[in-house]
Amino acid sequence: MTVAKLVSDFTRELADIVEERCSLIQTFVDEGRAASRDELAKFVFGTAKRIYKQIQPDLESSRKQAWLEAKGMLKDIVDFDVFTPTAFFDPCVKNVLEAKVAEVLRNYHHFILTGVVRTKHLPPKLLGETDEILCVDKPVDFTCGYGANANALLPQVIGAKTATQLLNAAEAAIQIHEYLALKFNYETAVGTREFWKEVEQKKLTMQPCLCGLCEVCACMQAGCCNRLDKETSGVMVAAKTKKGFEEIRKQFQSDHSLDEGGTEKYYFGLARGKVNLPKQQVKQSDDWIHECSGPPSQRRGRVEIALFYDPVTSRSVAWDDGKDYDSMGKNEKGGSKGKGKGQKAGKGVLDSEDGRPQQGENGRQSAVTLYDPIAWFSDKNNDQYTLLHLQIVTGRRHQIRFHCEQIGHPLLGDCLYGAPQSDRDWAKRVFLHSYQTKFREPFTQRWFEAVSPLPQDLGNVLSDLTLERVKEGCPLFLSRRQHSKLHKVFKTQYDATTKLLRTHAAPKNAQAIMPAAQANGSMNHNGHSVGYKGGSKGNGNSSAGWKDWRWDSSDSWNNWKSDGGSWNAWSSSANANAASANAASAGAPSGGNDDSDDETWGKWTPKDTKKPAETPEPEAKRPRVAVPEPADVAGQVPRTPPELPEPQVQRSQWRRVESTREAGIFYYVNTVTGEKQVEPPPPWERKQSRRDASISYYWNTVTGETSLVKPEV
């Protein structure tokens, strides 16, 4: 919703009216009283009528805009399609209770005074964008209901008309692709809105395409290229252009992740128990291996356990865990979790949410996860917990959750995979966060990394525990909020000026990747990537080998730090070519299916594409230039300013006044004319944060001064 600059005299009186009506209905709520339907309907109608008469939208454009905003804020209690201020009409008031009416009026009163719209769901934060990609931080309760599915049904949407309406939806969960399509105007977002119109016009019920790679698929899901579980927060990547969608999707495919230009995906998970690296290989079968990987100074655990997704229980099970099971699915110790070997995938049983049949023989899916224990915690009952920094090489359904269960350490709050139900009493979701994703920008050789700092709710969970020890040499990671108890693991205060999407040094085998990709048809003759053909199947190995894939000259995330071991600089060992690419780094940010198996949305066949028009690289963000001193006072000593005649001294006629009805709420009064307004007068202007759309600040256009609160003038 557009925030209007309400500067007319009616603003203060309008706020008083809404505050009075809100107080009346709030009294009913506080005292537990209930009004009849007729009484409540007349109260709501009377409130809307008084608001209309106070605004008088027919007088001028600013008042008309204020009325449109009032209708938007009151739509949950008033049906404005049948509302008329001249006479009471019962159907114009919706069937709501007193508490709902009070909530709507409180939110409207807050909007009148501050210009900020309160929403039920917090909007996703923008991590950064370029001409081709957009990265957002997915909050909890946003779902990824797009991509192909067993019945080829259309991607799920609520049907909201605006992003604000979507964020205020009554549903417990909303779709991330629907929000992006309504919020932004990049090519695939606009294409998705056009697709919705086509669905209504043609009464479509099935997806026109299931490949998950073409322009049609891009415009069914606002260009979203990966998926996360409903309870998993973190990095989401969207392609802004139709042609770029295909290339990014190829990087997310699991069979070549880390082999030939795939993405690197890193997570944080809090596992139950004390997790240590295995001292020797544990091999229960050829499809169940748990061991260590890497040189001694950079050892990580490596879990390679093939899985089978069981549609009956909606969970992944081991393909062959080396145990014997009877006809009832029980093993010799009475376990009944079963194994996938010998089961048939059958018609309609899927490898992922996209609707493809399970890969491999009878649905066997290879899966590899790397993990590093970085911090150990305990609670008041002396139960142990371990913070894991995980990397997924493949991307299977519930892969991290399944692998953690298999090694005997389920994630906190993950009751589906072995965590006790009591976890939900204090951990309201599965402790799993997509912290970092690395990928290559379409049509360029620029490599990017997007980072989602640890969200506040997970930081609070860790702060409620006792930190026992931290891995030696562990770098500091980013956190959205300050958590003093976690200062050895996370930066104690999130620096809002830190870029969360930035260019990264190319992998050390980048020179080998590009010729190989060109030979495989993934790059056209101009060097622009147009896809990937081939990739290893079955167990996910290739001739290059995932172990050879690195993003810098080091072989471990442990070395991603600057001179003093700090994360602040995010330094890298880029060569001369990478340095030139970094000069055109990413621009600063501008304002039902619950699966994380995002890499297997369909096969792809190379096709000829035209070379995209070359566009100049965006200029780097310019530093703010200080405002020069006026010529008449330049060189003067600040302590002895020149005395000017009284008439030449410009004094502001405005002063800031605190509301007598609500402490901490300010407005401005013109001491000469008596005019009142909500926002400060020039040279102050209200600005929206380019990094976080939910944050506004005030900027003095003359001095460059900024303020998070309404300034004195």
More confidently predicted of 328 and 4: 328
pLDDT surpassing 90 at residue 445: no
Burial of 620 (0-12, 13-18, 19+ CB in 10 A): exposed
Q: How high is the pLDDT of residue 477?
A: 95
Nearest C-alpha neighbor of 265 from the set 451, 140, 135, 409: 451
Structure confidence at residue 458 as a pLDDT band (50, 70, 90): very high
pLDDT surpassing 50 at residue 615: no
Instruction: Read off the tokens for 218.
Output: 């891009």
Mean pLDDT of 79-94: 91
Range in 306-310, 418-422, 600-604 with the lowest mean pLDDT: 600-604
- Average pLDDT across the chain, whole number: 76
Q: How high is the pLDDT of residue 309?
A: 86
Q: What phi, psi does 86 have (nearest 5°)?
A: -85, -25
How far is Cα 190 from Cα 197, in angstroms, rounded to an integer?
A: 11
622-637 pLDDT, tens digit per residue, is 444 444 544 444 444 4
Q: How high is the pLDDT of residue 531?
A: 32
How far is Cα 520 from Cα 255, in angstroms, rounded to an integer?
A: 15
More confidently predicted of 201 and 650: 201
Structure confidence at residue 612 as a pLDDT band (50, 70, 90): very low
Could you give the angle at which helices 37-55 and 61-74 cross, rounded to 10 degrees? 160
211-249 pLDDT, tens digit per residue, is 888 999 999 999 999 999 899 999 999 999 999 999 898
How far is Cα 523 from Cα 533, in angstroms, rounded to an integer?
A: 10
pLDDT surpassing 80 at residue 493: no
Q: What is the pTM of this model?
A: 0.64
Q: How high is the pLDDT of residue 4?
A: 39
CA distances from 107 to 120, 318, 336 (A): 11, 50, 52
The length of the chain is 713
270-285 pLDDT, tens digit per residue, is 999 999 999 999 999 9
35-66 pLDDT, tens digit per residue, is 888 999 999 999 999 999 999 888 888 888 88
Q: How high is the pLDDT of residue 601?
A: 42
Q: How high is the pLDDT of residue 306?
A: 93
pLDDT surpassing 60 at residue 308: yes
Q: How high is the pLDDT of residue 302?
A: 95
Q: How high is the pLDDT of residue 93?
A: 93
Q: How high is the pLDDT of residue 627?
A: 44
526, amino acid identity = N
Supply angle C-alpha 66, 68, 71, rounded to 5: 110
Instruction: Cis check for the bond before 647: say yes or no (omega within 30 of 0).
Output: no
Structure confidence at residue 329 as a pLDDT band (50, 70, 90): low
Burial of 118 (0-12, 13-18, 19+ CB in 10 A): middle
Q: How high is the pLDDT of residue 696?
A: 78
Highest averaged pLDDT of the listed ranges 136-140, 320-324, 340-344, 541-545: 136-140
Mean pLDDT of 504-515: 64
Structure confidence at residue 547 as a pLDDT band (50, 70, 90): very low
Mean pLDDT of 102-120: 85
Supply angle C-alpha 248, 251, 255, rounded to 5: 145
